[in-house]
Structure 1
Amino acid sequence: MNLRQLCSTLLPFLLIACQGVHSEQKPLALPQEPLVQVYFNHTESSQYQETLRPQQRNGDDLEQQIITAISTSKSSVDIAVQELRLPKIAQALVERQKAGVKVRVILENTYNHPLNESPPRKTPREAAKYDELRTQSDRNSDGQISAQEANQGDALLILRNAKVRVIDDTADGSKGSDLMHHKFIIVDDRTLIVTSANFTSSDIHGDISNPQSTGNANNLVKIDSLELAALFTQEFNLMWGKSPLFGLKKPFRPPQQVQVGNTTIDVQFSPTSPTSPWSQSTNGLIAKTLTTSSQSVNLALFVFSDQNIANTLEQQSLHNVQIRAVIDRDFIYRPYSEALDMMGVSLSNKCKYEANNHPWQKAITTVGVPKLLKGDLLHHKFAVIDNSAVITGSHNWSEAANSSNDEALLVIHSPTVAAHYQQEFERLYAEGQLGLPEAITQKIQKAQRQCSKS
């Protein structure tokens, strides 16, 4: 056998071997759009050193992206976020206010209570969050929070001590909107950060009390655009003005489109009144965007409970669009989950089914839960359409997000940006548990038997 024949014989095996080696290596960092950059706290293409839990880990440091943006501010920083518990972010805000920068912060009222205040009517989830805050602030791990520890570890106390003005969704004189769920920052009326993450250790880095946790899977997009920042400033000012407006007290804000360099971005804010046409709502914009798909739709969602969106996806599936989805384990198999529709089944809640429930006639098996470390959640709210557009933001695909909560939704038309989200989706999907687990099948059958008797 001559050299050429030998090379021809060995080449396929060499390629397979090289592919195997490459699969074990971390993926290469993808190119970014200059004006629209995206980051993921679970990406395998980068690493960073945590500060609250001093350890090296995979991921983009979303907290540092936020701190860097704040630290570059010259005139103003506006933050609207459901929950802010990271002390270094608070310290960065205090430093900029001392430098003469105008700092304004809006929170969800449930989480506008520092350690020295007891929030009213804590749910088990809220109580767990305050326990996590206590653990985070207890620097010497003696089980007690000294005044010094609280002043250094409690972000809200840091802001209050520096007299940084913070309001919440009770500023309108109400008991609060259903949920002030925004997660955005505007710096100097130009730089915009929109993320799915709350500013907490559990949403960005991991649970303080669980060293194995790497945080809830989240993404962050940073955009350089005067025009888009102006639209978010309008939304912020509705909540901050002399007569603050939250939830359904706000006027209807239709979708608007902005050109950012070579990238087109659609934006819409929630909520939309249930009396308005659904097609004009934020969920309506999601559905409208999904109807443009001709090849594929890939979903990574915390919650998916909007029936109309599920019906839209079914029609796309019937037109040979490949639909794949990973949904958080805590929500995917609940009776109201549209993932069940996609898999062609229904689960009753005390023998009652969701209104207009519609299991798909041609069920799909490309729906499942991602493999995450114990305690971590899939907190994304994104979809990738035809590898060319992305739906993202703070907006869960639910009725509450659509018609009750304060939310922001972006549709980013950019293959470069879409590639980042697609890489994150493929990472989650590759090790996901797909299809209907036997335990859920048995649960559905048991409910059917019990309901038929009653």
Structure 2
Amino acid sequence: MYFFSTQWRFSFIFVVILTLTACQRGQSKNKRLEPLPQDPFVEVYFNHSESSQYLEPYRQQTRQGDNLEKLIVDTISQAQSTVDVAVQELRLPKIAQALVDRQKAGVKVRVILENQYSLPWSNFTHNKVNKLEKRKQERYQDFRRFADINQDGKLSPEEINQRDALVILGNARIPLIDDTADGSKGSSLMHHKFVIVDNRFLIVTSANFTMSDVHGDFSNSSSLGNANNLLKIDSPELANMFTKEFNIMWGDGLGSQADSKFGLQKPLRNPQTIKLGDNKITLNFSPTSPTKPWSQSSNGLIEKTLNLASNSIDMALFVFSEQRLANILELRHNANVKIRALIEPDFAYRPYSEALDMMGITLNQKCKYKKGNHQWKNPITTVGVPLLPKGDLLHHKFGIIDSKTVITGSHNWTEAANKGNDETLLVIENPIVATHYQREFERLFTNAKLGIPTKIQQKIKTQEKQCPQQERV
């Protein structure tokens, strides 16, 4: 199967791409699509996939999508020597238990978390919960319902030991640090989401290891989880690059030396490119100091990749606020490249959103506009927001160029991700991989709300009256 001819493979992919939109628009809500072929080294999965379904393990409901938690657990469970996990948040007990099981089998396990998410939910006091923002308070209450197995309104030690992932890790004394291990109060954000097994197998995803990012909110049966993607990669060469990144952050781990390095304390690494079967993969880790050349940063790599587009650019992004990337997109648009963009609704219409520039409009904050803001002179109407189940977010961070190259990882298209956060960015050149992302984009785009909502149009008119002279900052 792996050795089929290049001509046949590309012909097949061409047909698939041409029919993706038509096929998906013709789908009934419950009809499943045929699975796409997977590359032998780089497999692609989506928790909202229409070509698969699974029995969700906690709510015990059959739903569409790939079971991302099981993919992570299965990869961990095959470990013979090492498992390294770097993820912003880890709350799924089956992943925690898989790590414990491998440690009991003699496998070396290490975990790095973001410090804001390194406290077990069951350790939150009443006062601490009250200080949380609304969304986090909702997630805490969702955890309590999830952990309350016998539904008596109380959490017993037995229930906590089964359902609180960080308690499971702590009970087993799994070595774990967060981004305060460097002696600071924490980096901008330890936003990685990767797993390395035996310095060969990789999980790289946009999803945190949580109910809301993988399966869906426990108390909302219609939730399918925030829309996310996951890559499973078989490559010792690429895994070695991730291990180096992990070791920089790990330092001596739980030792006495504050030699862990996060954020801008990490040494500068330029983007690295490898060949893996039919894949050409470029990897870069954030952040990059603003004193260094833009081309060496992750956003610089995104810009370089976008600039290669000759036919199309499709984007599904949690947040898009990097002005330089919007500017390069405008240049590609003016060169007759077809551009479509979907942005998470919570961020699409904020004053800093580049979605506004692409649609040729501007919003301000107290009559002040973002520095360098540039709305397109020839705006497009193919920008909008997806329709997702209530409570779910568009959490992807991917772009597809000419239906053959994919930009993906944990890296949001923002200045903060580029200059402050610990992030992963992958650029994968392979039409087979790109076809998976193209199908996901078409699924989202088919029912998306495009253009400028009436509410935003009214807001612009109000601001024009309030701020007759625009002040750029």
Whether the TM-score (by the shorter chain) exceeds 0.5 is yes
Matched with 2:302 is 286
Counterpart residue number, 2:157: 147
The one of 148, 152, 177 equivalent to 1:167 is 177
Q: 2:115 aligns with which of 109, 114, 126?
A: 109
2:427 partner amino acid: V
- In percent, how many aligned pairs have the same letter? 61
Distance 2:33 2:311 in 1: 25
1:453 shift after superposition: 8.5
Larger radius of gyration: 1
Please state if 1:53 is matched with 2:51.
no
Deviation readout 1:137-187 (Å, 9 max, x if unpaired): 111222211111111100000000011111100011110001100000000
Counterpart pick for 2:289 among 245, 263, 273? 273
Q: What is the letter of the counterpart of residue 261 of structure 1? A: G
Partner of 2:10: none
Contact 1:85 1:133 (8 Å CA) reproduced: no
Write out aligned runs for 1:133-212 (5 A). 133-212=143-222
* CA deviation map 1:43-87 (0-9, x unaligned): 110100001110000000000000000000000000000000000
Change (3 A) 1:97 1:376: same
Equivalents in 2 of 1:380, 1:323: separation in Å? 17
> Which residue is equivalent to 1:223?
233
Query: Partners of 1:186 and 1:19 in 2: how far apart?
Result: 36
2:342 corresponds to which residue?
Answer: 326
1: CA distance between counterparts of 2:95 and 2:266? 29
1:399 aligns with 2:415: yes
Tell me whether 80-89 or 139-148 shows the greater mean CA deviation: 139-148
Cα distance change of structure 1 residues 140 and 266 upon mapping to structure 2, 3 Å threshold: same
Instruction: Tell me the TM-score normalized by structure 2.
Output: 0.90
Against the structure 1 CA distance between its residues 39 and 19, is the aligned structure 2 distance closer, same or farther, given a 3 Å change threshold?
closer
Match of 1:425 among 428, 436, 441: 441
Contact 1:172 1:244 in 2 (8 A): yes
Could you tell which deviates more after superposition, 128-137 or 46-55? 128-137
Gaps of 5+ in 2: 1-21, 253-258
SS at match of 2:455: helix
Question: Match for 2:389 among 370, 373, 376?
Answer: 373
* Equivalent of residue 77 in structure 2, options 71, 75, 84: 71
Alignment counterpart, residue 94 of structure 2, candidates 88, 91, 112? 88
Over residues 221-278 of structure 1, what are the superposed CA-to-partner deviations in whole Å (9 max), with x where a residue is unaligned?
A: 0110001000000000001013100011101111000111111100000000111122
Among candidates 29, 32, 47, match of residue 35 of structure 2? 29
Which of 353, 374, 378 aligns to 1:362? It is 378
Give 1:451's aligned residue. Answer: 467
TM-score for both structures, normalised by structure 1: 0.94
Q: Which has the larger displacement, 167-176 or 107-116?
A: 107-116
Q: Which residue of structure 2 aligns with residue 9 of structure 1?
A: none
Could you say if the C-alpha distance between residues 171 and 19 of structure 1 is closer, same or farther in structure 2, counting changes exceeding 3 Å? Answer: closer
- Report the counterpart of residue 213 of structure 1 in structure 2: 223
Instruction: Identify which of 238, 241, 245 aligns with 2:251.
Output: 241
Secondary structure in structure 1 of the residue aligned to 2:389:
coil
Partner in structure 2 of residue 411 of structure 1: 427
**What is the rounded CA distance, in whole Å, between the counterparts of 2:153 and 2:344 in structure 1?**
33
Q: Cα deviations across residues 316-363 of structure 1 (Å, max 9, x unaligned)?
A: 000000000111000000000000000000000111111100000000
Partner letter of residue 188 of structure 2?
D
Unaligned 5+ residue runs, structure 1? Answer: 1-17
Change (3 A) 1:22 1:399: closer
User: Is contact 1:115–1:150 with CA below 8 Å preserved after alignment?
Assistant: no
* C-alpha displacement of 1:127: 2.8
Q: Mean Cα displacement is larger for which, 57-66 or 125-134? A: 125-134
TM-fit CA distance, 1:130: 2.2
Letter in structure 2 aligned against 1:23: Q
Alpha-carbon offset, residue 22 of structure 1: 5.8
Counterpart of 1:185 in 2: which secondary structure? strand
2:104 aligned partner = 98
